[in-house]
Every structure is written in C-alpha cells, then in structure tokens.
C-alpha cells in the first residue's frame, strides 16, 4: 500500500461517491461542499487501485482532516490508519500547524482514539450521520 498527495480530484470524488453517497446515503449536495479546490488530497493505493482518500483543510494553526473513506473491500487492512498517519505527517510539515481536528462518525471514535485523537463536545448530525469532534496536537 502507498499513500500519496494528489491533484486528481476525480479519483477522490469517485471514491467518496462510492462510500458516502452510494453506501452511506449522504445527499450529493452535502458531499460536494465546494471546498475541494482549497484542500490537500491524499490517495491510498493497493497494488494499482485507489482504495481510499482523505482531504486536509487548513484554518489558522489547525488542520481539519475530513472526507476520510476506504472502499468496503479494503477496510480492516490498515488503509484508514495509514491515511490518518499520512495526513498528520502533511500537517506537521506545514509551517504554523499545531493541531489536527476531525469530525468522526460516532462508530469510528474508537478507531481515531487508537491514533491519538481525543473526542470533545456533543454529538451532532452531519448528513444524517451522528458525529463528534476529535482533536490531536501535532
């Protein structure tokens, strides 16, 4: 498996369409929020197939990791954790970045806790799915 930064937004969008829109029933209007153009995008590859993606948005000293998804057949293989570790590495290399923030689907809180994130604040609805904010210092 390899993780790389990409400017090929179509591959990222295809993965997000499969996971979020088709599988999780996120409304298309909510998935395409207009922020992709200002984000850093990561792609995870197994063999020669893209199997996961994530994006990073910068705001002040915080990097927001979002749109993290892995195709169903690649889940449980370490792809998701590798994407988060790669996103953290990208943020650490950016001047002035101090922490990472993400909105975790509540079923995935334990996954992110194993990667050093701490949940805080209330559970909230995002596209019909319960989420909770999580942060980690860089």
What is residue 1's predicted lDDT score, i.e. its pLDDT? Answer: 94
Mean pLDDT of 1-21: 97
Two structure tokens written together for 134: 């999580």
37-57 residue pLDDT tens: 999 999 999 999 999 999 999
What pLDDT score does 82 carry? 98
Return the CATH class of domain 2-137: alpha beta
Question: Structural domain boundaries of the chain?
Answer: 2-137
Q: Contact at 8 Å (CB) between 66 and 103?
A: yes
pLDDT band, very low/low/confident/very high, at 79 (cuts 50, 70, 90)? very high
pLDDT of residue 122: 97
Residue 120 Cα distances to 31, 63, 126, angstroms? 24, 16, 16
So what's the pLDDT on residue 110? Answer: 97
């Amino acid at each position: 498996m390899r993780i790389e930064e990409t400017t090929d937004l179509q591959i990222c969008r295809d993965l997000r369409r499969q996971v979020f829109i088709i599988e999780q029933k996120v409304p298309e209007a909510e998935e395409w929020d207009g922020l992709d153009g200002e984000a850093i995008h990561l792609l995870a590859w197994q063999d020669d197939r893209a199997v996961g993606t994530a994006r990073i948005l910068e705001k002040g000293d915080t990097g927001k990791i979002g749109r993290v998804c892995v195709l169903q057949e690649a889940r449980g293989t370490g792809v998701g954790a590798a994407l988060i570790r790669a996103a953290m590495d990208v943020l650490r290399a950016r001047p002035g970045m101090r922490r990472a923030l993400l909105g975790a689907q509540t079923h995935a809180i334990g996954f992110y806790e194993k990667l050093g994130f701490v949940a805080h604040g209330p559970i909230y609805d995002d596209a019909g799915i319960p989420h909770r904010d999580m942060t980690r210092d860089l």
